[in-house]
Chains A and B, each alone.
Chain A
Amino acid sequence: MKVGLFIPCYIDQFYPQVGIATLSLLEKLGCDVVYPQGQTCCGQPMANSGFEHLTHGCNELFVNHFENFDYIVAPSGSCVLHIKDHLHVDGKEQAATHIRQRIYELAEFLTDVLKVDNLKAKFPHKVGVHQACHGQRGLGLAQMSELVAAPFSKPQQLLNMVEGLELIELKRADECCGFGGTFCVFEEAVSVKMGKDRIADHVNNGAEYITGNDVSCLMHLEGILRRQKSNVKVLHIAEILNSI
């Protein structure tokens, strides 16, 4: 199984450890992983700001880098959702369609494609899960509190395999953290207030770590935590699943 590793731009630049953990985890699970050099961004920052018409360059790059893989995996629900919903390239529609159908967020790739049922990971800490909206409501990684339907959560299914890890319960299981792409700067006041409220929920319920499937949300929460000089840390789910 040939897996193309997509490391979104801000993870590449600011959170290389998340990329390393993702790669190492996939390799441990027996995947033949390649990171195509020269990849940049899915185009979402522009598209969500109303400039989808500027994303041709990003789309073309993406198709060129990833058209020849069986699967494409990324440690970001939001970027994966953007590709699934919006990747189109004139004259390369077949390749784009292949990618849209074969791109997976890391956790769902582990549960749905690799069908992982045990992990040799150890993380003896109290952990709160931040359900990032695009992964949850967009990709369906977990049940949504608004719907009358049976509960499930792919990230929690994986975290439950980690030795010593204790998941904490939140008062609001799946409220948005307020990152929202360029929303975090254009609507700074509300964005930060939403982030502070999410953090308070985790802290009040005893979290030592906040984890999630989207580094963008975690980057926002980390920025607030560090400003508050909090001891609570953020970690991407790949870093926990890859810890020994």
Chain B
Amino acid sequence: MEHQHKEHALLAEDFNANEPRVNWHDETLWWIRQKRDKIAWSIPEWEELREAASRIKHNVLGNLHDYLLEFERKAQENGAIVHWAADAAEHNKIVLQLLQEQGVKRMVKSKSMLTEECHLNPYLDEHGIEVIDTDLGERIVQLAKEPPSHIVLPCIHKKKEEIGELFHEHLGTPAGNADPKFLTAAARQHLRKEFIQSRVAITGVNFAVAETGEMVVCTNEGNADMGAHLADVHIACMGIEKIIPQRKHLGVFLRLLARSATGQPITTYSSHFRSPKAGQQLHIVLVDNGRSRQLGREDFRNSLKCIRCGACMNTCPVYRRSGGHSYHNAIAGPIGAILAPNLDMKEYADLPFASTLCGSCSNVCPVKIDIHQQLYKWRQVITQEGYAKKTKAAGMHAMNIVLSKPGIYKTAGGVGRWVMRTFPAVVNNGMNPWFKQREMPAPPKQSFADWYKKNRPE
């Protein structure tokens, strides 16, 4: 199957055209992985904590229907208005309608990967409404007209000098100033105006507590709070898997989230939103968008445990060297590669193959998703559903014929090595991707089987 856009391997090759930049990207994210390791080691019960989180989410996924209804009931008792969206289109329509009711043309939004997944910004833009992303990293990529390259660190692919140029162009900062402190202050000034003027604020949701009907939003910048407190209408958009049963479970998840994400003990703000203040409206949009389908896929159900910490990206040796945009999906990295095929198997057929199956992702995952095993399983599903390339399928069938027939294997091996020794150019050429940057192994005269026959006769 050929695609409209480039596949991961080609996008990654483009990214690798600039090796110093790849080194910088790799080192930056590895530094965050090390911060995560250090803070995890400061908690002796770290592995038990991961196990507890995984089991709580297991319980949530097994009783999602009941917890969602409980959450809805409690949220309504708290004075919130609850909306249900079956898919991205419905979600976007609900949000648009709320904005049109308010008659706003411009509004603020704090970080929400769900709205990225639903492509809310371009949808609202088409309807004449401008969204101002208020998370600093998201605002930067928004100004650059790019999608986020990382779910926690949206502009991690950008160097400070490039951010300085963007701010010079869009916010009028002096040319050539790339001082992070100065640029952050400039962004604050710029965003403050937006916060004060915005009558509607959209936020994401990190955890929704079924027991109390409250939502917890975690940020380091306080931008969700600024938006939601100053606006007349707060719209909180969440995937239906964000539910946790009880408030006390936050004691597990809040300890894991920031430690796994950035190596901080906790996010600067962990804000609880429960009831709208007098005169304010609080809307909660609960979005399915393929989640119940994924829930029905036994092998992939656990992917819904994800709390969007991004640890699997920071540790992934492929992500660090291919960049978030090479995954051409709102959620990049290993977790994106097991979530995306559920949304569109053809479009994202390449992603489960963008991995060496090294397993580091599963080990850092705070909710113990078996990510690398799901990557393996998605590969099987994608092939079975007919989305493997024809050339690859032909190669695999040929390989199978050689490897399942000892006689053919022996002959092919002997002939192959002879050809490699006698006419090395047959394999040492530009058609062979191995040879592009690596030498082929030196072909020996005899195989181990030949040696054994001679040296250990029956």
Contact = CB atoms under 8 A, between A and B. Distances in A.
Interface of A: 7, 9, 11-17, 19-20, 23, 35, 37-41, 43, 45-58, 60-61, 133-134, 137-138, 144-149, 172, 175-176, 178-181, 183-195, 197, 219-220, 222-224, 226-227
Nearest to B432: A185
B448 A12 contact: yes
B379 interface: yes
Contacts of B13: 188-189
B409 A223 contact: no
A126 B41 CA distance: 30
Contacts of A148: 40-41, 43-44, 46-47
Interface in B298-350: 315, 317-318, 321-322
B265 interface: no
- Among A14, A58, A145, max chain B CB count under 10 A is at A14
Contacts of A175: 317, 360
A73 to B, nearest CB: 14
In the A-B complex, the 9 residue pairs with the smallest Cβ-Cβ separation, listed nearest first, are A57-B404, A180-B356, A223-B438, A146-B363, A50-B383, A50-B379, A19-B448, A137-B359, A176-B358
B447 interface: yes
B403 A194 contact: no
Given A145-B37, A148-B44, A193-B16, A13 B447 contact: yes
A40 to B, nearest CB: 5
Contacts of A226: 438-439
B438 A51 contact: no
17 contacts: A16-B446, A37-B449, A40-B404, A47-B380, A48-B357, A54-B397, A61-B406, A133-B358, A137-B362, A183-B353, A183-B355, A184-B434, A192-B436, A192-B438, A197-B321, A226-B438, A227-B439
B8 A187 contact: yes
B145 interface: no
Given A53-B380, A133-B358, A148-B43, A194 B321 contact: yes
**Interface size of B as a range:** 35 or more
B447 A180 contact: no
B101 interface: no
B453 A50 contact: no
Contacts of B413: 9, 12-13
A49 B357 contact: no
Contacts of B317: 175-176, 178, 194
